[in-house]
């Protein structure tokens, strides 16, 4: 027996004509082809709407496929085409838990919008952990992704650099801190937002506006704080602020207290983080300060609870839904090679939701949209 003969044996005779549905009982494309009396190409084309088949054939094939309960193998398609239709979604974690992502209203809403937008374009989102320190499995390398969304990438995030290096498009929510080479990013116009909100407080009669900010160096904190300091300089007010580690909820309450205990107590405060509203309200109560009579309050939050606090608190909304949607459009455009028609950096406006806590005189209920979006 020659090598060639042996080859032929193993290739031809030793194998049944392959109708034997290896798919664990389920029908494969070959079964459909056989049952419909056509070739597998025709089946593939008919089902994918490709090629120039007569409508009759197409219908027939689809019918047979349906009858056999045929489900194309996503794995095979992915391997062949190189596209999985899957987009990773990851959030930098602050604590122990791999997932804080539904805990904050911002992330929850952002994720919801992103999921929705992705599905509308035929992609699904896979929730993945941030750089896992002790992860027993490397889930990242076990899933075929077409691209990734990173929320709040930390400085020099190893996952991001790794992904980008392997040629995967990465779009971040929040501008990357260091020189992370993300494909694109989307972020709010934080300077504009803070400036607008401080103006609003000043218009409401605030003379000395305080700030409750974080100790970390992420861009959100940095940009917001800088904007505050610049605003103070411009209007000639001495900055009054307290900082605390934003991830520690107790520290926030203490910092709020510190801020109101100062000799140069502010008559208005802006809190950068979600819980600051309630913390400041509690602190104000302790010091016998009435809101908004003695103290004006604004905080950055997506939470609806501030609509029903006593009094309702004015909030700055970062519009996470809009951001989630934009991030996904940008990412999918990149994946499909449509971009970059859009800019690689996109700055989105915020919404100031004015409630009782920031209105000392009159009852104007203005909603400022500091700047029109770059597009969209």
Partner DNA sequence: TTGAAAGCGCTAACAG
Partner DNA sequence: CTGTTAGCGCTTTCAA
Binding stretches for DNA (CB under 7 A): 7, 10-11, 14-15, 18, 22-24, 28-30, 37-42, 44-45, 47-48, 50-54, 57, 70-73, 76-77, 79-81
Which residues in 257-286 contact a second copy (CB under 8 A)?
A: 278
DSSP bridge partners of 173: 151, 186
Q: Choose from DNA, a second copy, none: what does 51 bind? Cβ within 5-8 Å by kind.
A: DNA
CB burial string 140-149: b at 16+ within 10 A, e below: beeeebbbbb
Least distance (Å) between residue 136 CB and DNA: 17
Partner from DNA, a second copy, none contacting 10, C-beta within 5 to 8 A by type? DNA
From the list a second copy, DNA, none, partner contacted by residue 278 (C-beta under 5 to 8 A by kind)? a second copy
What b-and-e string marks burial along 151-187, b requiring 16 or more CB atoms within 10 Å of the CB? bbbbeebebbbebbeeebbbbbbbbbbeebebbbbbb
45's contact among DNA, a second copy, none, with CB below 5 to 8 A by partner kind, is: DNA
Cα 100 to Cα 8, 27, 113, 287, distances in angstroms = 58, 41, 17, 33
Q: Which of 305, 347, 373, 374 binds a second copy (CB under 8 A)?
A: 305
Separation CA 301–CA 272 (nearest Å):
8
Decide: is 13 part of the binding site for a second copy (CB under 8 A): no
Classify residue 3 by burial, with Cβ atoms within 10 Å: 0-12, 13-18, 19+. exposed
Q: Which of 21, 95, 120, 156 binds a second copy (CB under 8 A)?
A: 120
Our measurement of the distance from residue 214's CA atom to the centroid of its chain's CA atoms, rounded to an integer in Å, reads 21
Q: Quote the CA–CA distance of 199 and 362 in Å, as a whole number.
A: 16
- Residue 349's φ and ψ, nearest 5 degrees, are -75, 165
Contact call for residue 310 and a second copy (CB under 8 A):
yes
Q: Which of 31, 109, 152, 274: binder of a second copy (CB under 8 A)? A: 109
Contact 189, 371 (CB under 8 A): yes
Q: Map tokens 């804080």 to a residue.
A: 100
Q: Which is nearer to DNA, 4 or 367 (CB)?
A: 4
Q: At what angle do helices 55-68 and 29-36 cross, to 10 degrees?
A: 120
Minimum CB distance to DNA, residue 337 (Å):
14
String marking each residue 122-151 x if it binds a second copy according to CB under 8 A? xxxxxxxx--x--xxx-x-xxxx-------
- By CB under 8 A, the residues from 157 to 216 that bind a second copy are 165-167
CB of 76 to a second copy, least distance (A): 5
What does each C-alpha distance from 269 to 118, 140, 217 come to in angstroms?
38, 42, 21
Question: Which residue in 85, 131, 239, 373 binds a second copy (CB under 8 A)?
Answer: 85
Binding site for a second copy (CB under 8 A): 2-5, 7-8, 11, 24-26, 69, 71-79, 82, 84-86, 97-99, 101-103, 108-109, 111-112, 115-116, 119-129, 132, 135-137, 139, 141-144, 165-167, 278, 305, 308-310
């Amino acid at each position: 027996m020659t090598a060639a003969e042996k080859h032929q044996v193993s290739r031809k005779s030793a194998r049944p004509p392959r109708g034997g549905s290896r798919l664990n009982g389920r029908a494969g494309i070959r079964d459909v082809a056989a049952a419909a009396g056509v070739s597998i190409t025709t089946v593939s084309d008919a089902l994918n709407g490709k090629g120039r088949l007569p409508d009759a054939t197409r219908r027939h094939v689809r019918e047979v496929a349906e009858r056999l309960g045929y489900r194309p193998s996503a794995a095979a398609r992915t391997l062949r085409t190189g596209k999985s239709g899957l987009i990773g979604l990851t959030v930098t974690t602050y604590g122990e838990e791999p997932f804080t992502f539904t805990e904050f209203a911002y992330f929850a809403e952002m994720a919801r919008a992103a999921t929705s937008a992705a599905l509308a374009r035929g992609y699904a989102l896979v929730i993945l952990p941030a750089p896992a320190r002790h992860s027993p499995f490397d889930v990242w390398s076990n899933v075929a992704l077409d691209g990734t969304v990173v929320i709040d990438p930390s400085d020099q995030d190893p996952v991001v650099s790794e992904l980008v290096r392997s040629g995967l498009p990465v779009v971040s929510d929040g501008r990357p801190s260091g020189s992370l080479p993300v494909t694109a990013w989307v972020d709010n116009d934080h300077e504009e937002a803070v400036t607008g909100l401080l103006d609003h407080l000043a218009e409401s009669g605030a003379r000395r506006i305080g700030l409750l900010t974080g100790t970390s160096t992420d861009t959100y904190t940095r940009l917001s704080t800088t904007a505050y300091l610049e605003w103070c300089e411009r209007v000639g007010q001495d900055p009054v602020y307290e900082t605390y580690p934003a991830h520690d909820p107790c520290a926030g309450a203490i910092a709020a207290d510190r801020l109101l205990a100062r000799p140069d107590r502010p008559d208005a405060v802006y809190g950068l983080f979600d819980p600051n509203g309630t913390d400041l309200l509690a602190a104000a109560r302790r010091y016998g300060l009435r809101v908004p009579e003695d103290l004006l309050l604004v905080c950055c939050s997506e939470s609806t609870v501030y609509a029903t606090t006593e009094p309702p608190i004015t909030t700055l909304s970062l519009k996470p839904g809009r951001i989630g949607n934009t991030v996904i459009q940008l990412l999918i455009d990149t994946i499909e090679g449509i971009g970059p028609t859009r800019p690689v950096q996109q700055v989105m406006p915020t919404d100031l939701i004015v409630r009782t806590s920031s209105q000392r005189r009159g009852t104007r209920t203005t909603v400022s949209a500091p700047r029109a979006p770059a597009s969209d």
